[in-house]
């Protein structure tokens, strides 16, 4: 089988399907290149002095790891000069980063979780990068200083592209431009991303769930009911046994679901009742929801489609239930009961 590269895939999308403008193609290539740089740093581990804490905190009050900061810098530096972006936003930055005046300003907005699964860095378990692309809307007349946080507050369904990279046994880039989901594997000898799966589909049914079970006692009744029924197995109301997986890197858990199905939950819980959930809407839930829907799955917060939520703030959190359609519908239905 003749494999095609990410570049060829994007050129074909642009040429044959008219899906993507040249600027978006450049943007995706640059993000993919930045992910390669991050993959190299991840790979060096202790030898590259990239493990451990940076002893600083991000805007969400989480202690930053060295790799959180390195990855954030790599993504910013890679994306500043291309002329394709107006501004960027990241888990690791309090507010937006507007493209400096010395560079031309483009039409797109980029959001990212530079390093997802930070608790897994030091223990050599899969981690990743998540990204989401929006268009600049409104009337800006090309003046850089007019871009504000408000320009980012668009619902996930407005995304022009989204994806993630998994730094695992293989380095894989998963991408949607709204025409299905494609998977690229990094060939380390040539440095090219090669298409290894296209039009990925998540099976509608599954016998595998992903949730941090240690939080069980804090969940709301509909989530407890759903998991209790899974745990009851063959003898319970579901009439089948379920298996459980929890990597604690959303990228790795979602990648497994895209590969073989499953349902992922990070629900609201009463530890911090004022927070809608742990995961962040704009650079974790939205890009993943876009990918999952493009692969035939569903993504909700228990009562609403994730992609329809209109964000109020950049770092807003959300309850997340995504993956195999019938399971997501079931647990969402329990919330309505
Ligand atoms: P991040 O490392 O970007 O802060 O994200 C971690 C997230 C997500 O990747 C994962 O699903 C979840 O946190 C794990 O949380 P628990 O440690 O509570 O299980
Ligand atoms: Mn994350
Ligand atoms: Mn992160």
For residue range 4-27, list pLDDT tens digits in order.
999 999 999 999 878 799 999 999
Which residues lie near ion ligand 2 (Cβ < 5 Å)? Answer: 113, 116
Largest CA distance in the chain: 66
Report the CATH number that the domain containing residue 151 is assigned in CATH: 3.30.540.10
pTM of the model: 0.97
What confidence category does residue 141 fall into, taking pLDDT thresholds of 50, 70 and 90? Answer: low
Report pLDDT digits (tens) over 241-278: 999 999 999 999 999 999 999 999 999 999 999 999 99
Question: Counting beta carbons within 10 angstroms of the beta carbon of residue 224, is it exposed (0 to 12), middle (13 to 18) or buried (19 or more)?
Answer: middle
Answer whether 277's CB lies under 8 Å from 250's CB.
Answer: no
Q: Do both 168 and 248 map to the same domain?
A: no
Which residues lie near ion ligand 3 (Cβ < 5 Å)? Answer: 91, 113, 115-116
Q: Do both 162 and 255 map to the same domain?
A: no
Q: Does the beta carbon of 248 sit less than 6 angstroms from any atom of ligand 1?
A: yes
Residue where a domain stops, chosen among 147, 171, 198 = 198
Q: Residue 145 pLDDT > 60, yes or no?
A: no
| CA of 279, closest atom in ligand 1 | 7
Helix intervals (H) in 150-283: 221-232, 250-260
How far does residue 282's CA lie from ligand 1's centre (Å)?
A: 15
Q: Is residue 299 part of a domain?
A: yes
Answer whether 26's CB lies under 8 Å from 85's CB.
Answer: no
Q: Do both 217 and 327 map to the same domain?
A: yes
Of 76, 143, 152, the residue nearest 105 (C-alpha): 143
How far does residue 80's CA lie from ligand 3's centre (Å)?
A: 20
pLDDT value of position 144: 47
Q: Do both 91 and 167 map to the same domain?
A: yes
Q: Do both 270 and 152 map to the same domain?
A: no
Q: Does the beta carbon of 267 sit less than 6 angstroms from any atom of ligand 1?
A: no
Q: Whose CA is nearest to atom 12 of ligand 1?
A: 248
Q: Do both 154 and 261 map to the same domain?
A: no
Q: Does the beta carbon of 119 sit less than 6 angstroms from any atom of ligand 1?
A: yes
The distance in angstroms from the start CA to the end CA of the chain is 50
CA distance to 46, 230, 284, 290, 333, per residue, from 206 (Å)? 38, 11, 23, 20, 17
Report the CATH number that the domain containing residue 316 is assigned in CATH: 3.40.190.80
How far does residue 62's CA lie from ligand 2's centre (Å)?
A: 11
Q: Residue 140 pLDDT > 70, yes or no?
A: no
Q: Do both 274 and 194 map to the same domain?
A: no
Q: Do both 49 and 120 map to the same domain?
A: yes
Answer whether 109's CB lies under 8 Å from 148's CB.
Answer: no
Looking at the structure of the chain, the number of domains it has is: 2
Q: Does the beta carbon of 212 sit less than 6 angstroms from any atom of ligand 1?
A: yes
Q: What percent of the chain has pLDDT over 70?
A: 98
What confidence category does residue 139 fall into, taking pLDDT thresholds of 50, 70 and 90? Answer: low
Report pLDDT digits (tens) over 72-87: 999 999 999 999 999 9
Residue where a domain stops, chosen among 173, 198, 223 = 198
Q: Do both 233 and 182 map to the same domain?
A: no
Q: Which domain holds residue 259?
A: 208-336
Q: What is the chain's length?
A: 337
| Average predicted confidence (pLDDT) for the chain | 95
């Amino acid at each position: 089988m003749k494999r095609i590269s990410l570049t060829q895939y994007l050129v074909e999308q642009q040429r044959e399907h008219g899906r993507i403008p040249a600027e978006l193609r450049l943007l995706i290539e640059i993000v993919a290149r930045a992910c390669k740089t991050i993959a190299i740093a991840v790979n060096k581990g202790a030898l590259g002095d990239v493990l451990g804490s940076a002893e600083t905190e991000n805007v969400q009050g989480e202690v930053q790891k060295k790799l959180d900061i390195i990855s954030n810098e790599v993504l910013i530096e890679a994306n500043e000069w291309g002329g394709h972006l107006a501004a960027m936003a990241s888990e690791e930055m309090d507010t937006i980063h507007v493209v400096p005046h010395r560079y031309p300003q483009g039409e797109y907005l980029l959001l990212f979780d530079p390093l997802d699964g930070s608790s897994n860095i030091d223990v050599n378990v899969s981690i990743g990068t998540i990204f989401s692309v929006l268009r600049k809307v409104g009337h800006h007349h090309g003046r850089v200083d007019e871009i504000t946080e408000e320009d980012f507050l668009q619902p996930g369904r407005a995304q022009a592209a989204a994806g993630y990279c998994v730094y695992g046994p293989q380095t894989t880039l998963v991408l949607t431009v709204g025409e299905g989901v494609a998977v690229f594997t990094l060939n380390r000898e040539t440095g090219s991303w090669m298409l290894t799966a296209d039009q990925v589909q998540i099976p509608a049914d599954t016998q595998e769930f992903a949730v941090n079970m240690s939080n069980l006692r804090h969940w709301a009744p509909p989530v407890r009911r759903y998991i209790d029924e899974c745990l009851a197995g063959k003898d319970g109301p579901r009439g089948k046994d379920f298996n459980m997986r929890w990597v604690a890197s959303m990228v790795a858990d979602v990648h497994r679901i895209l590969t073989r199905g499953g349902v992922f939950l990070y629900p609201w819980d009463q530890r911090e009742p004022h927070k809608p959930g742990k995961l962040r809407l704009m650079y974790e839930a939205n890009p993943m929801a876009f990918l999952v829907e493009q692969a035939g799955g569903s993504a909700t917060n228990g009562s609403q489609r994730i992609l329809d939520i209109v964000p109020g703030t950049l770092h807003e959190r959300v309850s997340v239930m995504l993956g195999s359609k019938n399971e997501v519908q079931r647990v969402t239905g329990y919330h309505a009961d």
